[in-house]
Amino acid sequence: MQADNRQKILIADDERFNLNILVDILKSDYKISVAKNGKQALDRAMSLNPPDLILLDIQMPEMDGYEVCKSLKEDERTKDIPVIFITAMKEEAYEAKGFDIGAVDYITKPFSAPIVRARARAQLKMKWQADMLRQMACIDVLTEIPNRQKFEEIFDREWKRAVREKIPLSVLLVDIDFFKQYNDSYGHGRGDKCLKEVAQALANSIHRPADFVARYGGEEFIAVLPETDMPGAGAVAEIMRSNVELLQIPHARSVSLDYVTVSIGVASVAPGGGFSDAALITVVATADEMLYKAKAGGRNQVQCR
């Protein structure tokens, strides 16, 4: 069955008649979800499959569109989703208030199908372009895996979740053994190819959606494993080490083996003493200590704390 890759629009209106009209206008070109009130709209927007555009009625009971839009723009998960207000109110003051809160456009009732399609299409095109630019900014050009900037973003988010939910979090720091000697022997072209292959082996070693690997800089890589304690993190690190070894990239000047290997340092924090924002910086530092220990111990190994 072919995947539906169309962009997704969330339509929030407490009147079924309005919902039906907008769904009929847009359903042939986009995936549509609906919400009948403000709280439901927020829940849909903050789901694991968020919309690319929200059409939001202003006048809804309990939580009006202004409140919903304000909440969306204040949340890191939803702040970049464009919001178009749908309303029967045409006064300039109402429009100005909406733009001040963060809306990108207005569609007034009664609906004109060509106008609805044109304005939705324009905002979705800009959203797609912005998403592509953000994605490109977070990808390491050489290895085509996430870069350090993206790691810092993910790490900050997962750290806050770990503190909030009192769940363990692990960090893995990976270094290619004797990489300077590899470059000196085989040239930087082969060195770049080696980095790409190692990066893919590391990325292919994780399978859970929340697990994350990035290039940290030079020949170093870093991984974040949410909801993972020390034994679990050590097991993943060993899979990474083994998968790189299995590549069997020749390395005549390696002391540990005749092909490229990696050393990995692992640090884990768990709920309880020291599990606070003050410990955030030390997690990566501890992984770095363990990496140094792995290298001092002969390389091609995993060390954990």
- Catalytic residue IDs: 219
Which amino acid does the sequence have at 20? N
The distance of Cα 172 from the centroid of its chain, to the nearest Å, equals: 18
Helix, strand, coil % in the chain, rounded to nearest 5: 45, 20, 35
- Give yes or no for a contact between 223 and 172, defined as CB atoms under 8 angstroms apart: yes
Which amino acid does the sequence have at 248? Q
Under 8 Å CB-to-CB from 95, ≥6 apart: which residues?
A: 106
Q: Which two tokens stand for residue 267?
A: 């640090």
Nearest to 168 by CA among 274, 83, 293, 96: 274
As a whole number of angstroms, the distance between CA 99 and CA 159 comes to 33
Q: What are phi and psi of 189, to 5 degrees?
A: -65, -50
Which amino acid does the sequence have at 164? R
Q: Which two tokens stand for residue 13?
A: 């209106």
DSSP letters, 61-96, are SSS-HHHHHHHHHHSTTTTTS-EEEEES---HHHHH
Nearest to 52 by CA among 72, 81, 95: 81
User: Sign of the CA dihedral 251, 181, 264, 293?
Assistant: positive
In degrees to the nearest 10, what's the CA dihedral of 273, 277, 281, 287?
40
Evaluate the omega torsion of the peptide bond into residue 110 and state whether it is cis, within 30 degrees of 0. yes
